[in-house]
Amino acid sequence: MTIGIDKIGFYTPNQYVDLVELALKRRIDPAKFTIGIGQDKMAVAPLSQDVVSMGANAAAKILTPEDKAAIDLVILGTESGVDNSKAGALIIHRLLKLPNTARVLEIKEACYGATAGLQYAKLHLLQNPKAKALVIGSDIARYGLETSGEVTQGAGAVALLLSAEPHILALDLPSSYYSEDIDDFWRPLDQLTAEVDGKYSTTAYIEFFEKVFKDYQAKTGLTLEDYAAITYHLPYTKMGLKALKQVLPMASDEKQTELQQHYQQETLYSRQVGNIYTGSLYLALLSLLNNDRVLKPGMRIGLYSYGSGAVAEFFSGKLQPNYTKYLDPIYYLELFEKRQKLTIADYEAQFKAQLEPIAPGQVLENQDPSAQFYFAGVVDKKRQYKEIK
Ligand code: HMG
Protein backbone atom coordinates (compact mmCIF):
# COMPACT_ATOMS: atom_id res chain seq x y z
CA MET A 1 0.00 0.00 0.00
CA THR A 2 1.21 3.53 -0.78
CA ILE A 3 0.19 6.78 0.92
CA GLY A 4 0.60 10.21 -0.59
CA ILE A 5 -0.75 13.27 -2.32
CA ASP A 6 -3.93 12.55 -4.24
CA LYS A 7 -4.79 16.14 -5.22
CA ILE A 8 -3.31 19.63 -4.78
CA GLY A 9 -5.30 22.88 -4.68
CA PHE A 10 -3.98 26.43 -4.47
CA TYR A 11 -5.52 29.82 -3.83
CA THR A 12 -3.93 33.26 -3.87
CA PRO A 13 -5.76 36.60 -3.60
CA ASN A 14 -6.45 38.51 -6.81
CA GLN A 15 -4.15 41.47 -6.14
CA TYR A 16 -0.39 41.85 -6.32
CA VAL A 17 2.48 44.30 -6.17
CA ASP A 18 4.95 44.53 -9.04
CA LEU A 19 8.35 44.25 -7.40
CA VAL A 20 10.11 46.41 -10.01
CA GLU A 21 7.74 49.23 -9.04
CA LEU A 22 8.34 48.52 -5.35
CA ALA A 23 12.11 48.59 -5.88
CA LEU A 24 11.91 51.93 -7.69
CA LYS A 25 9.75 53.39 -4.89
CA ARG A 26 12.27 52.16 -2.30
CA ARG A 27 15.19 53.55 -4.40
CA ILE A 28 16.64 50.07 -4.87
CA ASP A 29 18.02 48.64 -8.14
CA PRO A 30 15.11 46.41 -9.42
CA ALA A 31 17.67 43.73 -10.36
CA LYS A 32 18.26 43.16 -6.65
CA PHE A 33 14.63 42.02 -6.32
CA THR A 34 14.21 40.18 -9.63
CA ILE A 35 17.69 38.59 -9.80
CA GLY A 36 19.30 38.93 -6.36
CA ILE A 37 16.17 37.76 -4.51
CA GLY A 38 14.47 36.14 -7.53
CA GLN A 39 10.95 37.51 -7.14
CA ASP A 40 8.77 39.36 -9.69
CA LYS A 41 5.45 39.94 -7.92
CA MET A 42 4.01 39.46 -4.46
CA ALA A 43 0.42 38.62 -3.66
CA VAL A 44 -1.40 40.94 -1.25
CA ALA A 45 -4.37 39.68 0.75
CA PRO A 46 -7.26 42.15 1.06
CA LEU A 47 -8.90 42.49 4.50
CA SER A 48 -11.57 40.05 3.34
CA GLN A 49 -9.10 37.16 2.89
CA ASP A 50 -7.39 35.60 5.89
CA VAL A 51 -5.75 32.20 6.43
CA VAL A 52 -9.12 30.54 7.05
CA SER A 53 -10.89 31.80 3.94
CA MET A 54 -7.79 31.27 1.78
CA GLY A 55 -7.44 27.71 3.09
CA ALA A 56 -11.12 26.98 2.39
CA ASN A 57 -10.76 28.46 -1.11
CA ALA A 58 -7.72 26.27 -1.87
CA ALA A 59 -9.49 23.11 -0.68
CA ALA A 60 -12.83 23.89 -2.36
CA LYS A 61 -11.02 23.82 -5.70
CA ILE A 62 -10.17 20.11 -5.41
CA LEU A 63 -12.74 18.32 -3.26
CA THR A 64 -15.55 16.22 -4.75
CA PRO A 65 -18.55 15.07 -2.65
CA GLU A 66 -16.88 11.60 -2.50
CA ASP A 67 -13.63 13.09 -1.18
CA LYS A 68 -15.54 15.08 1.45
CA ALA A 69 -17.39 12.00 2.69
CA ALA A 70 -14.09 10.11 3.12
CA ILE A 71 -12.18 12.87 4.98
CA ASP A 72 -11.63 12.02 8.66
CA LEU A 73 -8.66 14.30 9.37
CA VAL A 74 -8.31 18.04 8.71
CA ILE A 75 -5.12 19.88 9.60
CA LEU A 76 -4.33 23.55 9.07
CA GLY A 77 -0.65 24.48 9.22
CA THR A 78 -0.28 28.22 9.71
CA GLU A 79 1.84 30.79 11.46
CA SER A 80 -0.61 33.63 10.84
CA GLY A 81 -3.65 32.04 12.48
CA VAL A 82 -6.67 34.11 13.49
CA ASP A 83 -7.25 32.85 17.04
CA ASN A 84 -4.94 32.04 19.93
CA SER A 85 -7.02 29.05 21.00
CA LYS A 86 -9.47 27.69 18.45
CA ALA A 87 -8.13 25.87 15.38
CA GLY A 88 -8.90 27.73 12.15
CA ALA A 89 -9.24 24.25 10.67
CA LEU A 90 -12.59 23.93 12.48
CA ILE A 91 -13.99 26.89 10.55
CA ILE A 92 -12.62 25.49 7.28
CA HIS A 93 -14.16 22.12 8.18
CA ARG A 94 -17.58 23.78 8.63
CA LEU A 95 -17.32 25.94 5.50
CA LEU A 96 -16.50 22.88 3.39
CA LYS A 97 -19.29 20.82 5.04
CA LEU A 98 -16.91 18.01 6.03
CA PRO A 99 -18.02 15.09 8.24
CA ASN A 100 -18.18 15.67 12.01
CA THR A 101 -16.53 12.27 12.41
CA ALA A 102 -13.23 13.94 11.48
CA ARG A 103 -10.32 14.92 13.76
CA VAL A 104 -9.65 18.64 13.21
CA LEU A 105 -6.66 20.67 14.39
CA GLU A 106 -4.14 23.41 13.70
CA ILE A 107 -0.36 23.02 13.80
CA LYS A 108 2.17 25.79 14.33
CA GLU A 109 5.89 25.66 13.66
CA ALA A 110 6.60 28.53 11.32
CA CYS A 111 6.77 27.36 7.69
CA TYR A 112 7.08 23.72 8.77
CA GLY A 113 3.44 23.39 10.00
CA ALA A 114 1.98 21.91 6.81
CA THR A 115 4.78 19.32 6.59
CA ALA A 116 4.11 18.30 10.21
CA GLY A 117 0.48 17.93 9.12
CA LEU A 118 1.41 15.87 6.08
CA GLN A 119 3.57 13.51 8.12
CA TYR A 120 0.83 13.15 10.77
CA ALA A 121 -1.66 12.41 7.98
CA LYS A 122 0.68 9.83 6.43
CA LEU A 123 0.83 7.86 9.69
CA HIS A 124 -2.91 8.26 10.20
CA LEU A 125 -3.68 6.89 6.72
CA LEU A 126 -1.35 3.93 7.17
CA GLN A 127 -3.68 2.90 10.00
CA ASN A 128 -6.88 4.04 8.25
CA PRO A 129 -6.32 3.34 4.54
CA LYS A 130 -9.95 3.86 3.53
CA ALA A 131 -9.98 7.41 4.86
CA LYS A 132 -8.68 10.64 3.29
CA ALA A 133 -6.93 13.54 5.00
CA LEU A 134 -7.02 17.23 4.15
CA VAL A 135 -3.85 19.16 5.01
CA ILE A 136 -3.78 22.90 4.37
CA GLY A 137 -0.90 25.36 4.56
CA SER A 138 -2.23 28.93 4.59
CA ASP A 139 -0.42 32.14 5.49
CA ILE A 140 0.02 35.85 5.01
CA ALA A 141 3.72 36.79 5.19
CA ARG A 142 4.27 40.27 6.63
CA TYR A 143 7.57 41.87 7.58
CA GLY A 144 6.66 45.55 7.33
CA LEU A 145 6.93 48.46 4.92
CA GLU A 146 10.47 49.48 4.02
CA THR A 147 12.07 46.50 5.78
CA SER A 148 14.60 44.24 4.07
CA GLY A 149 12.07 41.41 4.34
CA GLU A 150 9.36 43.42 2.54
CA VAL A 151 10.22 41.98 -0.88
CA THR A 152 9.79 38.45 0.53
CA GLN A 153 6.15 38.89 1.62
CA GLY A 154 3.20 37.10 0.00
CA ALA A 155 -0.16 35.45 0.66
CA GLY A 156 -1.85 32.20 -0.28
CA ALA A 157 -2.88 28.69 0.66
CA VAL A 158 -2.19 25.19 -0.60
CA ALA A 159 -4.55 22.29 0.11
CA LEU A 160 -3.33 18.70 -0.08
CA LEU A 161 -5.70 15.77 -0.20
CA LEU A 162 -3.85 12.71 1.08
CA SER A 163 -4.96 9.13 0.60
CA ALA A 164 -3.89 5.55 0.11
CA GLU A 165 -3.07 4.73 -3.54
CA PRO A 166 -2.75 8.45 -4.37
CA HIS A 167 -3.02 9.79 -7.90
CA ILE A 168 -0.15 12.31 -7.84
CA LEU A 169 2.76 11.50 -5.52
CA ALA A 170 3.29 8.33 -3.46
CA LEU A 171 5.42 9.24 -0.45
CA ASP A 172 8.43 7.13 0.46
CA LEU A 173 8.12 6.01 4.06
CA PRO A 174 11.44 7.26 5.51
CA SER A 175 11.97 10.88 6.43
CA SER A 176 14.84 12.83 7.99
CA TYR A 177 14.33 15.73 10.36
CA TYR A 178 16.40 18.07 12.47
CA SER A 179 15.30 20.58 15.13
CA GLU A 180 17.15 23.21 17.15
CA ASP A 181 16.01 26.24 19.16
CA ILE A 182 17.37 29.22 17.20
CA ASP A 183 16.19 32.83 16.76
CA ASP A 184 16.27 33.33 13.00
CA PHE A 185 12.63 34.36 12.56
CA TRP A 186 9.76 34.71 15.04
CA ARG A 187 6.58 36.69 15.66
CA PRO A 188 5.72 37.87 19.18
CA LEU A 189 2.06 37.35 20.17
CA ASP A 190 1.27 41.08 20.03
CA GLN A 191 2.64 41.58 16.49
CA LEU A 192 1.22 40.98 13.03
CA THR A 193 4.63 41.48 11.43
CA ALA A 194 7.50 39.01 11.80
CA GLU A 195 10.86 39.67 13.41
CA VAL A 196 13.77 38.24 11.47
CA ASP A 197 17.53 37.95 11.55
CA GLY A 198 17.60 37.74 7.77
CA LYS A 199 21.19 36.73 7.03
CA TYR A 200 21.23 34.21 9.88
CA SER A 201 17.95 32.70 8.62
CA THR A 202 19.48 32.06 5.20
CA THR A 203 22.56 30.30 6.62
CA ALA A 204 20.39 28.25 9.00
CA TYR A 205 18.14 27.20 6.09
CA ILE A 206 21.18 25.87 4.21
CA GLU A 207 22.88 24.23 7.21
CA PHE A 208 19.67 22.44 8.16
CA PHE A 209 19.24 21.32 4.54
CA GLU A 210 22.70 19.78 4.42
CA LYS A 211 22.03 17.92 7.69
CA VAL A 212 18.69 16.39 6.69
CA PHE A 213 19.74 15.66 3.12
CA LYS A 214 22.83 13.75 4.27
CA ASP A 215 20.86 11.92 6.95
CA TYR A 216 18.24 10.90 4.38
CA GLN A 217 20.98 9.65 2.07
CA ALA A 218 22.45 7.57 4.91
CA LYS A 219 19.01 6.23 5.87
CA THR A 220 17.80 5.32 2.39
CA GLY A 221 20.90 4.95 0.23
CA LEU A 222 19.31 7.40 -2.25
CA THR A 223 21.78 9.77 -3.92
CA LEU A 224 21.20 12.89 -6.01
CA GLU A 225 21.16 10.67 -9.11
CA ASP A 226 17.92 9.10 -7.82
CA TYR A 227 15.95 12.37 -7.88
CA ALA A 228 14.44 13.90 -10.99
CA ALA A 229 13.95 17.13 -9.04
CA ILE A 230 14.24 18.52 -5.53
CA THR A 231 11.54 20.89 -4.37
CA TYR A 232 12.24 23.47 -1.67
CA HIS A 233 10.44 25.65 0.79
CA LEU A 234 10.76 28.92 -1.14
CA PRO A 235 10.77 32.07 1.03
CA TYR A 236 12.11 33.58 -2.21
CA THR A 237 13.35 31.71 -5.24
CA LYS A 238 17.08 32.43 -4.80
CA MET A 239 16.98 30.66 -1.41
CA GLY A 240 16.26 27.15 -2.66
CA LEU A 241 18.84 27.55 -5.41
CA LYS A 242 21.50 28.37 -2.83
CA ALA A 243 20.65 25.16 -0.94
CA LEU A 244 20.59 23.10 -4.15
CA LYS A 245 24.02 24.42 -5.10
CA GLN A 246 25.45 23.08 -1.83
CA VAL A 247 24.78 19.50 -2.88
CA LEU A 248 25.04 19.73 -6.69
CA PRO A 249 28.78 18.84 -6.76
CA MET A 250 27.78 15.35 -5.51
CA ALA A 251 26.03 14.72 -8.87
CA SER A 252 27.24 14.03 -12.42
CA ASP A 253 27.41 17.04 -14.78
CA GLU A 254 24.34 15.79 -16.61
CA LYS A 255 22.35 15.43 -13.39
CA GLN A 256 23.45 18.87 -12.20
CA THR A 257 22.03 20.44 -15.36
CA GLU A 258 18.84 18.41 -15.07
CA LEU A 259 18.24 19.37 -11.43
CA GLN A 260 18.81 23.05 -12.17
CA GLN A 261 16.40 22.95 -15.13
CA HIS A 262 13.67 21.38 -13.01
CA TYR A 263 14.40 23.91 -10.26
CA GLN A 264 13.43 26.74 -12.65
CA GLN A 265 10.01 25.14 -13.19
CA GLU A 266 9.34 24.85 -9.47
CA THR A 267 10.01 28.55 -8.92
CA LEU A 268 7.55 29.90 -11.54
CA TYR A 269 4.55 30.25 -9.21
CA SER A 270 6.59 31.50 -6.26
CA ARG A 271 8.04 34.29 -8.39
CA GLN A 272 4.44 35.50 -8.89
CA VAL A 273 3.14 35.00 -5.35
CA GLY A 274 5.99 35.42 -2.86
CA ASN A 275 6.43 33.59 0.41
CA ILE A 276 3.28 31.83 1.60
CA TYR A 277 5.17 30.34 4.56
CA THR A 278 3.58 26.92 5.34
CA GLY A 279 2.34 26.35 1.79
CA SER A 280 5.53 27.44 0.00
CA LEU A 281 7.11 24.00 -0.43
CA TYR A 282 3.86 22.62 -1.83
CA LEU A 283 3.42 25.61 -4.12
CA ALA A 284 6.88 24.78 -5.48
CA LEU A 285 5.75 21.18 -6.01
CA LEU A 286 2.57 22.31 -7.78
CA SER A 287 4.55 24.70 -9.98
CA LEU A 288 6.95 21.90 -10.92
CA LEU A 289 4.17 19.43 -11.73
CA ASN A 290 2.10 21.94 -13.70
CA ASN A 291 4.95 23.42 -15.74
CA ASP A 292 7.59 20.74 -16.22
CA ARG A 293 7.10 18.76 -19.42
CA VAL A 294 10.15 16.50 -18.88
CA LEU A 295 8.97 14.76 -15.70
CA LYS A 296 7.51 11.29 -16.11
CA PRO A 297 5.56 8.88 -13.89
CA GLY A 298 7.86 6.78 -11.71
CA MET A 299 10.37 9.62 -11.25
CA ARG A 300 11.34 10.50 -7.69
CA ILE A 301 10.96 14.03 -6.27
CA GLY A 302 12.78 15.18 -3.12
CA LEU A 303 11.07 17.65 -0.78
CA TYR A 304 12.84 20.00 1.64
CA SER A 305 10.74 21.68 4.32
CA TYR A 306 12.15 24.40 6.59
CA GLY A 307 10.36 26.25 9.38
CA SER A 308 12.28 28.92 11.22
CA GLY A 309 12.88 28.48 14.88
CA ALA A 310 13.80 25.87 13.49
CA VAL A 311 12.70 22.48 12.17
CA ALA A 312 13.78 20.99 8.84
CA GLU A 313 12.71 17.79 7.11
CA PHE A 314 13.70 15.99 3.93
CA PHE A 315 11.54 13.31 2.38
CA SER A 316 10.63 12.07 -1.07
CA GLY A 317 7.94 10.57 -3.25
CA LYS A 318 7.35 8.99 -6.65
CA LEU A 319 5.18 10.43 -9.41
CA GLN A 320 2.20 8.21 -10.10
CA PRO A 321 0.92 6.88 -13.46
CA ASN A 322 -1.31 9.50 -15.16
CA TYR A 323 -0.54 12.11 -12.47
CA THR A 324 -0.98 14.92 -15.02
CA LYS A 325 -4.70 14.05 -15.29
CA TYR A 326 -5.12 15.24 -11.71
CA LEU A 327 -3.59 18.66 -12.36
CA ASP A 328 -5.11 21.81 -13.87
CA PRO A 329 -2.30 24.09 -15.16
CA ILE A 330 -4.63 26.25 -17.29
CA TYR A 331 -6.68 27.20 -14.23
CA TYR A 332 -3.57 28.57 -12.52
CA LEU A 333 -2.42 30.46 -15.64
CA GLU A 334 -5.78 32.21 -15.65
CA LEU A 335 -5.72 32.77 -11.88
CA PHE A 336 -2.44 34.69 -12.22
CA GLU A 337 -3.55 36.55 -15.35
CA LYS A 338 -6.79 37.78 -13.80
CA ARG A 339 -5.06 39.40 -10.82
CA GLN A 340 -5.03 43.16 -10.44
CA LYS A 341 -1.89 45.18 -9.91
CA LEU A 342 -1.95 47.48 -6.90
CA THR A 343 -0.20 50.82 -6.98
CA ILE A 344 2.46 51.07 -4.30
CA ALA A 345 0.33 53.71 -2.56
CA ASP A 346 -2.69 51.31 -2.48
CA TYR A 347 -0.52 48.47 -1.21
CA GLU A 348 0.91 50.65 1.57
CA ALA A 349 -2.55 51.86 2.57
CA GLN A 350 -3.89 48.28 2.69
CA PHE A 351 -0.84 47.11 4.64
CA LYS A 352 -1.36 49.79 7.29
CA ALA A 353 -5.10 49.04 7.51
CA GLN A 354 -4.36 45.36 8.09
CA LEU A 355 -2.30 46.14 11.16
CA GLU A 356 -5.36 47.72 12.80
CA PRO A 357 -8.02 45.59 14.53
CA ILE A 358 -11.27 45.17 12.56
CA ALA A 359 -13.82 47.59 14.01
CA PRO A 360 -16.80 45.86 15.69
CA GLY A 361 -19.68 45.86 13.23
CA GLN A 362 -17.46 46.63 10.23
CA VAL A 363 -18.82 44.60 7.31
CA LEU A 364 -16.32 43.41 4.71
CA GLU A 365 -17.35 42.63 1.16
CA ASN A 366 -15.71 40.04 -1.07
CA GLN A 367 -13.30 41.59 -3.58
CA ASP A 368 -12.13 38.48 -5.38
CA PRO A 369 -14.26 36.86 -8.14
CA SER A 370 -12.15 33.67 -7.90
CA ALA A 371 -12.92 33.23 -4.18
CA GLN A 372 -15.72 31.02 -2.91
CA PHE A 373 -15.27 32.04 0.74
CA TYR A 374 -14.34 35.33 2.41
CA PHE A 375 -13.94 36.90 5.83
CA ALA A 376 -16.88 39.24 6.41
CA GLY A 377 -16.00 40.95 9.71
CA VAL A 378 -16.34 40.39 13.45
CA VAL A 379 -19.60 40.18 15.42
CA ASP A 380 -19.55 39.71 19.22
CA LYS A 381 -15.79 39.05 18.89
CA LYS A 382 -16.56 36.09 16.60
CA ARG A 383 -15.12 36.02 13.10
CA GLN A 384 -17.72 35.78 10.34
CA TYR A 385 -17.13 33.92 7.09
CA LYS A 386 -19.39 33.90 4.06
CA GLU A 387 -19.74 31.75 1.00
CA ILE A 388 -20.46 33.27 -2.40
CA LYS A 389 -23.32 31.23 -3.80
P1 HMG B 1 19.02 42.09 2.07
O2 HMG B 1 20.00 42.50 3.09
O3 HMG B 1 18.04 43.11 1.65
O4 HMG B 1 19.66 41.61 0.74
O5 HMG B 1 18.24 40.82 2.66
P6 HMG B 1 21.18 41.27 0.38
O7 HMG B 1 22.00 42.50 0.48
O8 HMG B 1 21.62 40.03 1.11
O9 HMG B 1 20.97 40.94 -1.16
C10 HMG B 1 20.21 39.85 -1.54
C11 HMG B 1 20.85 39.29 -2.81
O12 HMG B 1 20.66 40.25 -3.86
C13 HMG B 1 22.34 39.05 -2.72
O14 HMG B 1 22.62 37.89 -3.47
C15 HMG B 1 22.93 40.26 -3.43
O16 HMG B 1 24.22 40.03 -3.98
C17 HMG B 1 21.90 40.46 -4.52
P18 HMG B 1 23.29 36.61 -2.75
O19 HMG B 1 24.58 37.04 -2.22
O20 HMG B 1 22.31 36.24 -1.62
O21 HMG B 1 23.33 35.59 -3.82
N22 HMG B 1 21.90 41.80 -5.10
C23 HMG B 1 21.77 42.06 -6.41
N24 HMG B 1 21.63 41.22 -7.46
C25 HMG B 1 21.51 41.79 -8.71
N26 HMG B 1 21.54 43.14 -8.91
C27 HMG B 1 21.70 43.99 -7.89
C28 HMG B 1 21.80 43.45 -6.56
N29 HMG B 1 21.93 44.00 -5.33
C30 HMG B 1 22.00 42.98 -4.45
N31 HMG B 1 21.70 45.30 -8.11
C32 HMG B 1 17.01 38.81 2.94
C33 HMG B 1 17.80 39.68 1.95
C34 HMG B 1 16.54 37.56 2.23
C35 HMG B 1 17.90 38.44 4.11
C36 HMG B 1 15.78 39.63 3.42
O37 HMG B 1 14.91 39.88 2.35
C38 HMG B 1 15.01 38.93 4.54
O39 HMG B 1 15.33 39.07 5.72
N40 HMG B 1 13.91 38.17 4.19
C41 HMG B 1 13.11 37.45 5.18
C42 HMG B 1 13.84 36.24 5.74
C43 HMG B 1 13.94 35.09 4.77
O44 HMG B 1 13.23 35.01 3.78
N45 HMG B 1 14.82 34.13 5.08
C46 HMG B 1 14.97 32.95 4.27
C47 HMG B 1 15.44 31.73 5.06
S48 HMG B 1 14.45 31.47 6.52
C49 HMG B 1 13.00 30.73 5.91
O50 HMG B 1 12.93 30.32 4.80
C51 HMG B 1 11.83 30.67 6.84
C52 HMG B 1 10.75 31.70 6.58
O53 HMG B 1 10.03 31.33 5.42
C54 HMG B 1 9.82 31.83 7.79
C55 HMG B 1 9.28 30.60 8.44
O56 HMG B 1 9.82 29.52 8.48
O57 HMG B 1 8.26 30.75 9.06
C58 HMG B 1 11.32 33.08 6.34
The closest alpha carbon to 315, from 173, 175, 168, belongs to: 175
- How far is Cα 272 from Cα 141, in angstroms, rounded to an integer? 14
Query: Are the beta carbons of 168 and 319 closer than 8 angstroms?
Result: yes
Domain spans in the chain, listed from the N-terminal domain onward: 3-387
pLDDT at 61: 95
pLDDT at 136: 99
pTM score = 0.98
pLDDT at 148: 98
Q: Which CATH class is domain 3-387?
A: alpha beta
End-to-end CA distance of the chain: 39
Atom of ligand 1 nearest to the CA of 236: 44
pLDDT at 389: 85
pLDDT at 38: 98
Q: CB under 6 Å to ligand 1: residues?
A: 29, 31-32, 35-37, 79, 110-111, 148-149, 151-152, 184-185, 196, 198-199, 201-202, 205, 233, 235-236, 238-239, 275, 277, 306-308
Q: Residue 232's beta-bridge partner residues?
A: 304
Atom of ligand 1 nearest to the CA of 308: 56
> How far apart, in Å, are the Cα atoms of 312 and each of 82, 200, 212, 233?
25, 15, 7, 10
160's torsion region: left (phi>0), alpha (psi -120 to 50) or beta? Answer: beta
pLDDT at 36: 98
| Residue in 196, 283, 304 to alter for ligand 1 test, most ligand atoms within 8 A of Cβ | 196
pLDDT in single tens digits along all 389 residues of the chain: 999 999 999 999 999 999 999 999 999 999 999 999 999 999 999 999 999 999 999 999 999 999 999 999 999 999 999 999 999 999 999 999 999 999 999 999 999 999 999 999 999 999 999 999 999 999 999 999 999 999 999 999 999 999 999 999 999 999 999 999 999 999 999 999 999 999 999 999 999 999 999 999 999 999 999 999 999 999 999 999 999 999 999 999 999 999 999 999 999 999 999 999 999 999 999 999 999 999 999 999 999 999 999 999 999 999 999 999 999 999 999 999 999 999 999 999 999 999 999 988 899 999 999 999 999 999 999 999 999 98
- Going from the Cα of 320 to the center of ligand 1, the distance in angstroms, rounded, reads 35
Query: Are the beta carbons of 17 and 42 closer than 8 angstroms?
Result: yes
Q: Residue 179's beta-bridge partner residues?
A: 311
- Going from the Cα of 154 to the center of ligand 1, the distance in angstroms, rounded, reads 15
The tens digit of pLDDT for each residue in 173-208 reads 999 999 999 999 999 999 999 999 999 999 999 999
The DSSP annotation for 155-182 comes to EEEEEEEEEES-SSEEEPS--EEEE---
Residue whose CA lies nearest to ligand 1 atom number 14: 36
pLDDT at 84: 96
pLDDT at 361: 87
pLDDT at 23: 98
- How far is Cα 14 from Cα 184, in angstroms, rounded to an integer? 31
- Going from the Cα of 37 to the center of ligand 1, the distance in angstroms, rounded, reads 6
